[in-house]
Structure 1
Amino acid sequence: MKIFSMAIRNIRSNFKNYWAYFLSSSFSVFIVYLFMSILYSKNIQDNLGGVKNFITLFNVGATMIALFSAFFIWYSNSFFIKSRKKEFATYMLLGMSKKQVSRLNFLENILIMLASLITGVVLGLVFTKFFIMLLFFIIKVSADVPFQWNLRALKISVLIFLGIFAVITLHGAFVVRKSNLIDLFNASKKVEKGLKVSFVTIILSILAMICMGSGYYIAIKKLPTDITKSPVVVILVVVGIILFFTSTTSLIIHMNKKNERKLFKGTKLISVSQLYYRYRGNAGTLSTIAITTTVALCALVTCVGSYTKCEQNSRYMRPLSVEYFNVDKAQSTFDGILKNHNEISVKHKDSIEFLNIVEIDKSSEIARGFYVINESEFDKLSEHQGIERKANLKSDSDCYFIQINNFVENEVSTNEKISLKVGKKDYKMTVVGSDGKPFISLDHFNKTVVVTDNVYNEMKSSVNKRSIINMTGYTFEDDFSSGKFVADLAKNMSKDSGLRTFYDHYSDGLKLLGMMAFIGLFIGILFIMATGSIIYFKMTMEAREDKSKYKTLRNIGVSKKEIKKAISKELLVLFGAPLVVAIISTYPATYALEKMLLLDLMKSYAVIALVYAAIYCLYYFATLNSYVKTVE
């Protein structure tokens, strides 16, 4: 009973040392419970329509969060044990046995665990409804969201974190039982070794720049047209980041220490000396944080950026509001349903005709298929779809080329000569323009040659009727009010009609990308809280070890203001370096993704990077404040 009272007293008196650990653990419990509640919520599953299978995204998200939480809690607990070894030794010196100290550590862990579990679950119960409403708002689903108590989600969340806390508690007991009194007392008095800088360090620093530079170059120049190079980019950047923090940064700190002209100006000597002797122990942590932050930023930019460009993507994939092949009864079915929906206002109706030409490549004996459309029809479709492009064919030997696939090796370019065999005649054409925007749904599209009306009519007369494709396309005044109309069409139109609608693609894409953005947002927040807290734990622990040094500095006349300035410079390097490297490394990935997905992701990249930097600043000032208070 005395040990239990002692555990409570320890937590109360030293809660400032536990708050970041407690906060992050509670947030981890909250997110896991939230994701599990969504995963097993009948309300969610009933309102996801045709994308119910995408709910597995939350399962994947919850698994990632649980794994990262386990790593983070283990990492944080190792700091606590190290920082408290001297305290454990004092207890033993005063007569407590190792068993009693282990029990004390066990009880403290149990109390923190229970507090984190209760706080996380209570937050989950209070805010689950709000976040489900937020998810519905993101994916634009209108539905009532009742307050829910999900026993299955609670059970799984509790089991996950009981397992995590059980492992770290056993680890703490093992450390106490296996350590002798002298080792525990001297845990924080290890001899500090300065940075080892040699010719090998210079070589590795150069190699770091080469790896990172090569990775960035391949990502920007090669990756948009050859996605198979992505593993090479990842390996080069990861290796470059590790070498940068283990070699390049060490070299920079060493050079600053050797620069005696500037070293003795102001408080630079203090901050550089601290970095010189402390950086070796932080290099691995900083490189890990830089890599994980890069991954988190890339994921957030992709998820959030894709979501914000959902309409743009759907417009590209489905440029027409509705399109279908002119099979039996398709037109009459459409007209009949349209009469029952007064909310639909047709802006343009297009009767689209093009030729489906298939020819055999004599060298490879591979069948090549392409479409041929006449210039006047193509220009009219572009105008109706609000696309600023025209074929501008000056003669019958000119053509305009549309090719979607960005990953083909033989992409057709302007002024290139192409040969088309239609019927028995070979047509020698000069490409006067090209782009990658389809004029019909991408599901139906093939690479297309736009020719003059004269050439088209000549080609049409030499092909069989089966090669002539007729479609009908509609452009509505407001696509976003066509949900019920599109649903009725899907029920009544035959499968042979090949019905494709903008609203279906937009609605399904919004649900998928909205859920990805929702998951990415929470995982990103967890990552930044965890990485910021790791630096916080590490620096507050080192602050306790550095107390005597700063006391000596105060005794020889260094002011509090100068000490704070020196500490702020040291922490600025430790917080700023991983963030800057992560933001720089994310830019080439964003550029490549932007080109591959044909989306504007740079605005999302800039906003997310600024938000990340702002949150890191909060952790920086919190750590600075805690560090200064400790050494004072």
Structure 2
Amino acid sequence: MIRRLAYRNMKRFAGDYQIYMITLAVVAALLYAFDSLFWDKELGRFDQMNQMMMIMVGLATGFVVIITAWLIYYIIHFMMERRSREFGIYLLLGMKKGQVARVYIRENIMLGGIAFLVGSVLGVFFQQILCSVIDSMVRIPYSFRLSWDYRTWLMTFGCYAGCYLLAFFRCGFSFRKMNINELMKQDRKNEEIVEKHEEWKRILLPMAVIFLILFWGMFTHLNSTGEIILFLIGLVLTIYLFYTGVSAWIICYVRRKGKGIYQGQRLFLLRQFASKIRTMQFTLGTLTSLFTLALLGASVAFMFCDYENTALKAKFPFDVLIYSDQVQDDFQDEKEVLQQEADVKEMLRYRIYTDQKDQVNTWMLTHLEQYSTMYQNKNGKPDRKRVTKMLENDGTYCRYDTYMGKTDYNRLRKMLGYEPVHFEPDQYIVQTKKRLQKDVASIGKDLHLTAADEKTELTFAGVQAEPFSQDGHNGGDYIVVVGDKVLQRMKPYYSELAVDLKGETPQGLEQKLDALADPDDRDFSGHTVSSLSGNSCSGSDTVLVYTATNLVRDNLIPELKMLLASMIVPLFYMGLVFVCVALTVLSVQQLSDSSKYKFRYDVLEKIGLSKKQVRSLLLRQMAGYYLCPALLALVISGKMVLCISGNFVRGTGVSGCVSTYFVEGTLLFMGIYLVYFAVTFLCFQRSIFLKER
């Protein structure tokens, strides 16, 4: 009997909770697609970078499981409250609490099982989409690899079953406390709105707005983990206070018969909206937090996508570039490897020089926008103590200024396909990064560089900002280019070997060059890295800093794209699940009230409203209900994203507008939002207008 009853109830409620089942199927499909990455052979060739991808996907899956468990628990608990009268009747007929619990659990297991089976099949196709996206990101030729790996299926099933176990564990307390009297009254609790102390509660709304403004200001000054935790706690509390204040404000407005409440159906909408917010204020606060996280994640993912597509290639313009801290190094071993493994078009060994002064470094630290006044005294002059400490210990810039001769500079420009630069022997230019071009434009006003005789002052001839590999090879952020004679008074600082190759770069060339170095000089991925001693540096980039001794562009870029993909893909993964979960809760809440709203709209029709007016009223009611958490999330996340993207643009040199990433994240978010809204509106409208026939 229990089995038949559970099966009958499952069929009855499957139609009412279609959106919930669709979301569970999508979550199961996403879990399967991302779990398949753990055993993907194509991605396995990246070794250490693939391990980073697995770690990030594992962390993202953990968050997804927690959020999905919350969704399942919320829906199960919500359905229990809605069906409390039915459960009370079961107990009156003589069923025991354990039997009622087993019926309900079996219903949900069958619903979840159907969603999981559909999601498993759908996940195979999601897997192909995911693999094709990642393959294109890391420059692997995509090959259709339809497969059904039992390990992926078991891992997905374990995560999915874990969600249900967590949800059932929490619901177990509710079953044990079941009481016939309480069950018969449970479904009426949410209909009661206790309107107490609304006058002072409405003050919470302006307080919440003031707190949000304060939090926006604080966001740019968070420096420690403790400050970040306090910021997040305060922000979440403010979100919950906001909804309490909104509900109280509307109730007070209606009580005072505010201007315009009797125009059209405004009074009906206000009362409905206040009622919904009051009964769902905690849930709406949680959904707003999920929407905010989803928008932040999607916007940051778009930032990294832009960086990958535009800035990464410019970061490594040379086919091969090799650094040596030994000024006499002739790179003989490296040349032999290159000639054996690749088709070499041209090689150029050159030196970087220094005058053993730090006036250029000091100017950079005290004039770049990203440093602000960090290295200045109160009078605006350089803080020599802090500057010296930074140059000796930080590694952003070499200990002393870096110079290059005009001849070597123009040969390198020719290798890169740039036009040669001409300036007089008593002049100099500064080669810098594109993102720093505006900051460095005025550098000539303050520098006092001298010619070979150390008496004649050189004059500034301009700034060049083409990609020039300035993350520790051709200087850090800048290189001062002077006439060859000026180098006679300077000291060789370190050596470089630039190589131009014909055709495609062989796979594994960088690893063979790295094998020439001492194993102790390699990083976690096996690449040789410089020691950041006095004559080595990394530049001031803040997002992707790479200081390897050997740079082989076509070997390196796919690895770095894999590293970026390990951040981009999980962010989209979590953002998509967060949005779907939150929208499912909104949709289920609205659809579950269809019978109650049917009565209310029937009354409106009887007092003179046409069906067209009722549909318009229904659309406005649902739009307000759906937009409230979305708009608040947009307001909260907007300031954060603009601040993060501003720092991102300044720190990477990408050409995108600061607001572009937030707009892209919002469009993705609203696209999914509109799909859920449209489906819910159609289902809700059908349940109200078709049932009367």
* Superposition TM-score, scaled by structure 2 size: 0.75
Contact 2:626/2:677 (CA < 8 Å) preserved in 1? Answer: yes
Deviation at 1:18, TM superposition (A): 2.4
Deviation at 1:189, TM superposition (A): 1.6
Match of 1:482 among 481, 501, 505: 505
Identify the residue that residue 603 of structure 2 maps to in structure 1: 552
Contact 2:508/2:555 (CA < 8 Å) preserved in 1? Answer: no
Deviation at 1:130, TM superposition (A): 5.4
Between the aligned partners of 1:192 and 1:388, the Cα distance in structure 2 is 75
Answering whether residue 420 of structure 2 is matched by residue 370 of structure 1, we say no
Cα deviation, 1:19-77, whole Å, max 9, x if unaligned, reads 222222222233223333321x1524533355232232222222222122112211221
Bigger CA drift: 131-140 or 563-572? 131-140
Identify the residue that residue 500 of structure 1 maps to in structure 2: 551
Q: Structure 1's 268 and 598: CA in aligned 2 closer, same or farther, altered over 3 A?
A: same
Contact 1:102/1:176 (CA < 8 Å) preserved in 2? Answer: yes
Q: Structure 1's 134 and 68: CA in aligned 2 closer, same or farther, altered over 3 A?
A: same
Identify the residue that residue 621 of structure 1 maps to in structure 2: 678
Identify the residue that residue 473 of structure 2 maps to in structure 1: 444
Identify the residue that residue 489 of structure 2 maps to in structure 1: 462
Q: Which runs of no fewer than 5 residues in structure 2 stay unpaired?
A: 359-382, 393-398, 518-527, 531-547
Q: Structure 1's 10 and 248: CA in aligned 2 closer, same or farther, altered over 3 A?
A: closer
Deviation at 1:90, TM superposition (A): 3.1
Identify the residue that residue 201 of structure 1 maps to in structure 2: 202
Contact 2:28/2:120 (CA < 8 Å) preserved in 1? Answer: yes
Identify the residue that residue 290 of structure 1 maps to in structure 2: 288
Identify the residue that residue 538 of structure 1 maps to in structure 2: 589
Bigger CA drift: 156-165 or 469-478? 469-478
Bigger CA drift: 493-502 or 60-69? 493-502
Match of 2:245 among 244, 247, 261: 247
| Residue identity in the other structure for 1:109 | N
Cα deviation, 1:230-280, whole Å, max 9, x if unaligned, reads 778756755554444343575367547756442222222211110122212
Match of 2:298 among 293, 297, 300: 300
Q: Structure 1's 144 and 392: CA in aligned 2 closer, same or farther, altered over 3 A?
A: same
SS in 1 for 2:496: strand
Q: Structure 1's 416 and 281: CA in aligned 2 closer, same or farther, altered over 3 A?
A: farther
SS in 1 for 2:59: helix
| Residue identity in the other structure for 1:623 | T
Identify the residue that residue 471 of structure 1 maps to in structure 2: 496
Q: Structure 1's 103 and 231: CA in aligned 2 closer, same or farther, altered over 3 A?
A: closer
Answering whether residue 618 of structure 2 is matched by residue 567 of structure 1, we say yes
Deviation at 1:383, TM superposition (A): 7.6
Between the aligned partners of 1:79 and 1:431, the Cα distance in structure 2 is 72
Identify the residue that residue 330 of structure 1 maps to in structure 2: 331
Contact 2:84/2:184 (CA < 8 Å) preserved in 1? Answer: yes
SS in 2 for 1:43: coil
Q: Structure 1's 5 and 421: CA in aligned 2 closer, same or farther, altered over 3 A?
A: farther
Q: Structure 1's 475 and 576: CA in aligned 2 closer, same or farther, altered over 3 A?
A: farther
Between the aligned partners of 2:255 and 2:421, the Cα distance in structure 1 is 64
Between the aligned partners of 1:577 and 1:315, the Cα distance in structure 2 is 42
Identify the residue that residue 574 of structure 2 maps to in structure 1: 523
The 5 Å alignment of 1:80-119 reads 80-119=79-118
Contact 2:426/2:459 (CA < 8 Å) preserved in 1? Answer: no
SS in 2 for 1:192: coil
The 5 Å alignment of 1:355-366 reads 355-358=353-356, 363=385, 366=389
Deviation at 1:536, TM superposition (A): 0.9
Answering whether residue 663 of structure 2 is matched by residue 606 of structure 1, we say yes
Between the aligned partners of 2:137 and 2:403, the Cα distance in structure 1 is 40
Contact 1:355/1:372 (CA < 8 Å) preserved in 2? Answer: yes
Between the aligned partners of 2:235 and 2:421, the Cα distance in structure 1 is 42
Answering whether residue 648 of structure 2 is matched by residue 593 of structure 1, we say yes
Q: Percent identity?
A: 17
Between the aligned partners of 1:284 and 1:436, the Cα distance in structure 2 is 53
SS in 2 for 1:484: coil
SS in 1 for 2:17: helix
Identify the residue that residue 120 of structure 1 maps to in structure 2: 119
Identify the residue that residue 136 of structure 1 maps to in structure 2: 135
Between the aligned partners of 1:611 and 1:73, the Cα distance in structure 2 is 25
Deviation at 1:211, TM superposition (A): 3.6
Between the aligned partners of 2:420 and 2:199, the Cα distance in structure 1 is 60
| Residue identity in the other structure for 2:571 | G
| Residue identity in the other structure for 1:21 | Y
Between the aligned partners of 1:579 and 1:520, the Cα distance in structure 2 is 19
SS in 2 for 1:370: coil
| Residue identity in the other structure for 2:575 | G
Q: Structure 1's 319 and 377: CA in aligned 2 closer, same or farther, altered over 3 A?
A: same
Identify the residue that residue 538 of structure 2 maps to in structure 1: none
Q: Structure 1's 337 and 388: CA in aligned 2 closer, same or farther, altered over 3 A?
A: closer
Q: Which runs of no fewer than 5 residues in structure 1 stay unpaired?
A: none
Identify the residue that residue 366 of structure 2 maps to in structure 1: none
Between the aligned partners of 1:208 and 1:74, the Cα distance in structure 2 is 29
SS in 2 for 1:471: strand
Identify the residue that residue 77 of structure 1 maps to in structure 2: 76
Contact 2:25/2:116 (CA < 8 Å) preserved in 1? Answer: yes
RMSD between aligned residues: 4.4
Identify the residue that residue 544 of structure 2 maps to in structure 1: none
SS in 2 for 1:263: coil
Deviation at 1:403, TM superposition (A): 8.2
| Residue identity in the other structure for 2:34 | F
Identify the residue that residue 64 of structure 1 maps to in structure 2: 63
Identify the residue that residue 6 of structure 2 maps to in structure 1: 7
Between the aligned partners of 1:87 and 1:238, the Cα distance in structure 2 is 36
Between the aligned partners of 2:451 and 2:232, the Cα distance in structure 1 is 46
Q: Structure 1's 338 and 233: CA in aligned 2 closer, same or farther, altered over 3 A?
A: farther
Equivalent pairs, count: 614
Between the aligned partners of 2:500 and 2:100, the Cα distance in structure 1 is 75
Identify the residue that residue 33 of structure 2 maps to in structure 1: 34
| Residue identity in the other structure for 2:284 | L
Cα deviation, 1:157-190, whole Å, max 9, x if unaligned, reads 3333333323433544542442322321222222
Deviation at 1:530, TM superposition (A): 0.6
Identify the residue that residue 396 of structure 2 maps to in structure 1: none
| Residue identity in the other structure for 2:87 | F
Contact 1:353/1:468 (CA < 8 Å) preserved in 2? Answer: yes
Deviation at 1:531, TM superposition (A): 0.9
Bigger CA drift: 133-142 or 280-289? 133-142
Between the aligned partners of 1:470 and 1:167, the Cα distance in structure 2 is 60
Between the aligned partners of 2:14 and 2:679, the Cα distance in structure 1 is 15
Deviation at 1:207, TM superposition (A): 3.8
SS in 1 for 2:403: strand
Bigger CA drift: 552-561 or 530-539? 552-561
Cα deviation, 1:457-499, whole Å, max 9, x if unaligned, reads 44x33344xx343423346687xx4243845863786669932
Deviation at 1:618, TM superposition (A): 1.7
Between the aligned partners of 2:261 and 2:660, the Cα distance in structure 1 is 40
SS in 1 for 2:321: strand
Q: Structure 1's 362 and 491: CA in aligned 2 closer, same or farther, altered over 3 A?
A: closer
| Residue identity in the other structure for 2:185 | N
Cα deviation, 1:168-218, whole Å, max 9, x if unaligned, reads 33544542442322321222222223485435633x433433343344456
| Residue identity in the other structure for 1:208 | A
Contact 1:28/1:526 (CA < 8 Å) preserved in 2? Answer: yes
Identify the residue that residue 16 of structure 1 maps to in structure 2: 15
Deviation at 1:118, TM superposition (A): 2.6
